[in-house]
Amino acid sequence: MKNNNIFKKIINHEISSNIIYQDNLITAFYDINPKAPVHILLVPNIEISTMNEINNKHKNILTRLMTVAVKIAIKKKINKSGYRLVINCNKHGCQDVYHLHIHLLGGKPLGPFCT
Ligand code: AMP
């Protein structure tokens, strides 16, 4: 998986995507198959395959992912109506892409559960 996952190619601008935010730690881009009017993925620039790999060394990345998710929610005007942040992990969590990512979903009532 190292250096060969689809999100890494997006981060490195090796394939086309709709990036809306990028800095030294994270990248955010529109999900190619949106499940809600707003569906944006936030990913660390370094390769972390799943939540299981997270440790204290990643606290700056995790903080940045969360704070930028909120900034994007405000920019998309869904902060007051509400939104959902989702991290899928491994098979039972329905993780398809093994590069850690947060789904930012909103723009409609999301119901009890979805990604
Ligand atoms: P997950 O099931 O949590 O691993 O979610 C993976 C997400 O990545 C899905 O919502 C896909 O629609 C999305 N996705 C896969 N390939 C791309 C891509 N090239 N650009 C944007 N989003 C993608």
pLDDT tens figures, 4-62:
699 999 999 999 999 999 999 999 999 999 999 999 999 999 999 999 999 999 999 99
Closest atom of ligand 1 to 31 CA is 22
- Best substitution site from 20, 32, 98 to test ligand 1's pocket, by max atoms within 8 Å of Cβ? 32
Residue 112 pLDDT level (bands cut at 50, 70, 90): confident
- pTM across the whole model: 0.95
The pLDDT value given to residue 55:
97
Residue (of 28, 33, 1, 22) closest to 97 by Cα position: 1
